[in-house]
Amino acid sequence: MTKKIELAPENNKLCEKICSISGEVVTMCDQCGTCSASCPMAAEMDINPSEMMKMSQLGMEEVLETKAIWLCASCFTCVVRCPRGLDLSKVAEALRQIKLRQAEDHMDIKKLTIEELEGLPQIALISACRKFTG
């Protein structure tokens, strides 16, 4: 008989969304820490990859505000080493997608001074306003 894998705990919308976008069953992560120990970007991250998985499992919205989700370089080192066969790069990508779909501009153009608007190259303004939007 096939064991039914629970995609996300009930009423855990963020976890459900991460699983549905990434195709990864984040609840299967058993926090072994192999990803954190292997990740070449971990030293630069504010939370390590296994914490990213734990926060995703728990549906903690704070994970969307971390630097780590943007620093994952999709190098797949953790992917080939994960004993549960999880693809953390897809989870990080899903978290970025969720954040981008909130359509928040990184810069509020209405708060820029006339001097800034006149001095900044147009391309810099456009990229600053669009970098974090979907």
Residue 27 to residue 121: CA distance in whole angstroms: 45
Tokens of 66: 């971390």
Name the segment binding ligand SF4 (CB under 6 A); options: 5-13, 29-37, 101-109, 121-129: 29-37
CB of 36 to ligand SF4, least distance (A): 7
Residue 22 touches ligand SF4, criterion: CB under 6 A: no
Binding status of residue 95 toward ligand SF4 by CB under 6 A: no
Should residue 50 be labelled a site residue for ligand SF4 when binding is judged by CB under 6 A? yes
Q: Is 30 in the site for ligand SF4 (CB under 6 A)?
A: yes
For residue 84, state whether it binds ligand SF4 (rule: CB under 6 A).
yes
**Least separation, in Å, of the C-beta of 49 and ligand SF4?**
4
Give the binding site for ligand SF4 (CB under 6 A). Answer: 29-35, 38-39, 41, 49-50, 53, 72-79, 82-84, 86, 88-89, 92
